[in-house]
Amino acid sequence: MPDDILSVEGLCAWFGEHQALKSIDLNVASHSVTALIGPSGCGKSTFVRCLNRLHEEVPGASASGKVLLQGKNIYDANVDPVLIRRKVGMVFQKPNPFPALSVFDNVVAGLKLAGIRRKSVLKEVAEKSLRQAALWEEVKDKLDKAGTSLSGGQQQRLCIARALAVEPPILLMDEPTSALDPISTAKIEELVVQLKKDITIIMVTHNMQQAARISDRTAFFLLGELIEFGDTSSLFTVPKEKKTEQYITGKFG
């Protein structure tokens, strides 16, 4: 489809000898939310970590296959992974603001370390990103407080703001709400739906209700294979694969 911002072809990933992903094919449409579900260890985290080439930073890890980002293969030999990561942002399971940095410095860390120093630019981006992450109203008076002094849910939205500040067209989220309470979770879910108009989101989740609530398409992974991928509404109501049905009805996993 011409509308696809990302298309994955035959992606395999290894940790040493162990193959964690077995030839995954998957397309992601622009301005959509894609949910990745599956039991622990099924490779969904590894999959998203291959999309910003973070997977290869683990000692002994490797990947092969094609990941076309806006038509260009990010695994081509002459591609700099650092530049890919500016286009494909990531939010992690545990909120991980940089310690010893203020809220403000956390948000603009990506820009600052990329060499942007103009205060006016940084201020503008910080406010914009914090607004996008629905955090501005809560922190606008404590921008110089330590990022780690915020609550867990606020920290996670701070991390989202930090990722958004470098304006990536794609945002990967690796179980972003699994360490949060229900209210913070609801805020992040709302945020994800909001963000869809600006960017494309790929989200790993263990919570099937969450996937059903906020995603357009859902992919079900099992033992390193992509079992089923389709519209969220049909995957959860009329799954094509027996394994998918068993998983979403709680037969295993």
Partner 1 sequence: MSSLRGQIRDFTHLRYKRRKLLSLFISFLLSLSALAAASCLISVFGYVIWKGLPHVNLDFLLSLPKPVGETGGGMFNAFLGTLLMVFLGSVVGIPWGILTGVYLSEYGRGKFAFLVRFSADMLASVPSIVVGLFIYVLIVKPMRGFSALAGAASLALIMIPIIARNTEELLKLVPNHLREAGLALGIPRWKVILRIVLRGSLGGITTGVMLAIARVAGETAPLLFTALNNRFLNLNPTQPMASLPVQIYTYAIAPFDEWNQQAWAGAFVLVIFVFVLNLGTRWLVKPTALGTRD
37: number of Cβ within 10 Å? 30
For residues 157 and 160, give the distance between their C-alpha atoms in angstroms, rounded to a whole number.
5
120 binds partner 1 (CB under 8 A): no
Q: How far apart are CA 188 and CA 183, in angstroms?
A: 9
What is the distance of C-alpha 10 from the center of its chain? Answer: 20
Q: Does residue 52 interact with partner 1 by CB under 8 A?
A: yes
Q: How far is the CB of 105 from partner 1 (least distance, A)?
A: 6
Per-position DSSP letters for 127-144, written without gaps between them: HHHHHHTT-HHHHTT-TT
- Shortest spacing between CB 232 and partner 1, in angstroms: 26
Q: Could you say which of 145, 240, 242, 251 contacts partner 1 (CB under 8 A)?
A: 145
Q: Tell me how far, at minimum, the Cβ of 57 lies from partner 1, in Å.
A: 6
Structure tokens at 20: 């964690």
What span, in angstroms and rounded, lies between the C-alpha atoms of 46 and 129? 27
Query: Residues with Cβ < 8 Å from 117, sequence gap 6 or more?
Result: none
Q: Does 82 bind partner 1 (CB under 8 A)?
A: yes
Q: What is the DSSP letter of 38?
A: -
Among 110, 176, 224, 239, binds partner 1 (CB under 8 A): 110
Binding track over 204-243 against partner 1, x by CB under 8 A = ----------------------------------------
Name the pairing type of β-strands 88-91 and 170-174.
Answer: parallel
Looking at the Cβ atoms of 90 and 191, the one nearer to partner 1 is 90
Among 38, 43, 89, 224, binds partner 1 (CB under 8 A): 89
Catalog residues that contact partner 1 under the rule CB under 8 A. 52, 54, 57, 59, 82-87, 89-90, 92, 94, 96, 98-102, 104-105, 109-110, 113-114, 144-146, 148-149, 159, 162-163, 166
